C-alpha cells in the first residue's frame, strides 16, 4: 500500500522554507531529501548531513550519482546506473522500500534502510520524490560495542574496531563453545592490497584513513553478532559465530565486493581500495593457530593469483 505524503510538490518549496516544518525535518535522526523528476536533489536535512558527511551546500542541485550517495546493492552493483528504488517511485508513483549501501563522504560504504514516496502536484501528477533513510540496527549495535571496547582497552585506535587482544579472547570463547557444545563458527582473514604502497605514496595519514574506511565498510557487511578487529598491520580478522559454510562464503564475497566499491579521498583524487580474503570453518580439534593458519593459506593463495580475491 502506498504511504501517504503529507504535502504536494506545489507546497514542498514552501515547506522547506517554512521555519516550522524545516525545524521538524532538521531535528529528525533520519536522513531526508527531496528530488525532482531528474533525480536532482532539492532539499537535504541535517539528518542526511550527519549520516553521510555531506552538507546541504555540497549536494543541493546535484544528483545522487554525482559522487554523493551512489547507492549499491549487496552485490556492489551501482543502482544509479540502472533502476534504483527512487527512480521506480518516479516511474510508477508508488512508495518503495529497500536495503542498500550508501557512499559516505569518507569513502566507506554504509548499510541503510531507505523509504521513498512520490511528491505530487495539486492535480496528483508525480513531480518528484522524497527519500527517508537511516543506518540500520547493526550500526547501532556496533557503536555500543565500540564504547564497550574503549572502556575495556580492547579498541584499536587506528581503525576503531576491536584490537588483537580482544580477538584472541573471542577466538578462545568460540573454540570453547565449539568443543563443549558443537557450536560452529568461521573466520575471515582480510588483507589490504598494496597497503605499503598507499603509505609510501600518500603518507601514513592516508594509510590510517584507509584502515578506517575498510573497517567501516566491513562492519556494514556483518551481523551484529559478528566480531571484527584489526589483527595487525594491514590485516583484519572477522569471527562469525553460529554460521554455515555457505553463509561464510557469501559473507566473504559481499565484503570483498563492497570494499572494492569503497574509496579514500585524498588531495590528488581517490584511493581505490581492495582486499584479499581467506576464510575457514572450525573443525574438531582446532586451535586458534590451526584455524587461522588455514584461513591465512587460503588468503595467500588468492594473493598469488591476483589481488581483490576471496577464498574458502
Residue written as cell 533513510?
133
Cα–Cα distance, 11 to 33 (Å, whole number): 15
**What is the CATH T-level fold of the domain 9-135, as seen in this structure?**
Beta-Lactamase (3.30.450)
pLDDT at 119: 94
For 261-273, what is the mean pLDDT? 89
298: number of CA atoms within 13 Å, CB side? 21
Q: So what's the pLDDT on residue 66?
A: 86
Per-residue pLDDT tens digits for 135-152: 875 666 776 777 777 767
Residue 149 confidence (pLDDT): 77
Residue 6 neighbours by CB under 8 Å, 6+ apart? none
- Residue 269 neighbours by CB distance under 10 Å: 10
Q: What is the pLDDT of residue 224?
A: 84
pLDDT in tens, 95-129: 999 989 898 999 988 889 899 999 999 899 999 99
**Looking at domain 138-311, which of 3.30.70.270, 3.40.50.1220, 3.10.110.10, 1.20.1250.20 is its CATH number?**
3.30.70.270
Give the mean pLDDT of 204-212: 93
Q: How confident is the model at residue 9 (pLDDT cuts 50, 70, 90)?
A: very low
Q: pLDDT at residue 11 above 90?
A: no
Q: Is 21 exposed, middle or buried (0-12, 13-18, 19+ CB in 10 A)?
A: middle
Question: With pLDDT > 90 as the criterion, what percentage of the chain qualifies?
Answer: 61
- Please give the pLDDT value at position 311: 43
Predicted local confidence at residue 155, as pLDDT: 87
Residue 201 clears pLDDT 50, i.e. is over it: yes
Query: Residue 4 pLDDT > 80, yes or no?
Result: no
Sheet holding 310-311, edge to edge: 227-232, 235-241, 185-192, 275-281, 310-311
Q: Where along the chain do its domains lie? A: 9-135, 138-311
Mean of the per-residue pLDDT values of the chain: 87
What pLDDT does residue 128 have? 95
More confident position, 75 or 277: 277
Distance (Å, whole) CA 141 – CA 172: 22
Amino acid at each position: 500500500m502506498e504511504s501517504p505524503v503529507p504535502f504536494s510538490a506545489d507546497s514542498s518549496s514552501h515547506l522547506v522554507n517554512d521555519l516550522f516544518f524545516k525545524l521538524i525535518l532538521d531535528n529528525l535522526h533520519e536522513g531526508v531529501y527531496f528530488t525532482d523528476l531528474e533525480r536532482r536533489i532539492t532539499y537535504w536535512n541535517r539528518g542526511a548531513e550527519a549520516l553521510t558527511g555531506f552538507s546541504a551546500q555540497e549536494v543541493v542541485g546535484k544528483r545522487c550519482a554525482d559522487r554523493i550517495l551512489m547507492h549499491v546493492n549487496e552485490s556492489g552493483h551501482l543502482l544509479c546506473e540502472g533502476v534504483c528504488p527512487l527512480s521506480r517511485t518516479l516511474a510508477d508513483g508508488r512508495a518503495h522500500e529497500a536495503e542498500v549501501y550508501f557512499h559516505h563522504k569518507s569513502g566507506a560504504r554504509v548499510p541503510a534502510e531507505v523509504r521513498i514516496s512520490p511528491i505530487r502536484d495539486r492535480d496528483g501528477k508525480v513531480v518528484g520524490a522524497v527519500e527517508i533513510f537511516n543506518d540500520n540496527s547493526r550500526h547501532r549495535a556496533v557503536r555500543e560495542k565500540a564504547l564497550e571496547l574503549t572502556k575495556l582497552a580492547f579498541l584499536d585506535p587506528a581503525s576503531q574496531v576491536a584490537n588483537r587482544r580482544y580477538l584472541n579472547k573471542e577466538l578462545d570463547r568460540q573454540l570453547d563453545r565449539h568443543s563443549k557444545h558443537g557450536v560452529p563458527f568461521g573466520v575471515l582473514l582480510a588483507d589490504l592490497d598494496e597497503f605499503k604502497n598507499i603509505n609510501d605514496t600518500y603518507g601514513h595519514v592516508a594509510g590510517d584513513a584507509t584502515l578506517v574506511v575498510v573497517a567501516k565498510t566491513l562492519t556494514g557487511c556483518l551481523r551484529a553478532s559478528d566480531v571484527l578487529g584489526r589483527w595487525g598491520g594491514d590485516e583484519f580478522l572477522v569471527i562469525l559465530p553460529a554460521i554455515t559454510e555457505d553463509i561464510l562464503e557469501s559473507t566473504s564475497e559481499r565484503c570483498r565486493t563492497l570494499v572494492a566499491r569503497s574509496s579514500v579521498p585524498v588531495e590528488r583524487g581517490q584511493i581505490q581500495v581492495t582486499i584479499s580474503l581467506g576464510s575457514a570453518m572450525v573443525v574438531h580439534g582446532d586451535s586458534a593457530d590451526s584455524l587461522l593458519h588455514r584461513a591465512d593459506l587460503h588468503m595467500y593463495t588468492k594473493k598469488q593469483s591476483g589481488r581483490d580475491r576471496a577464498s574458502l
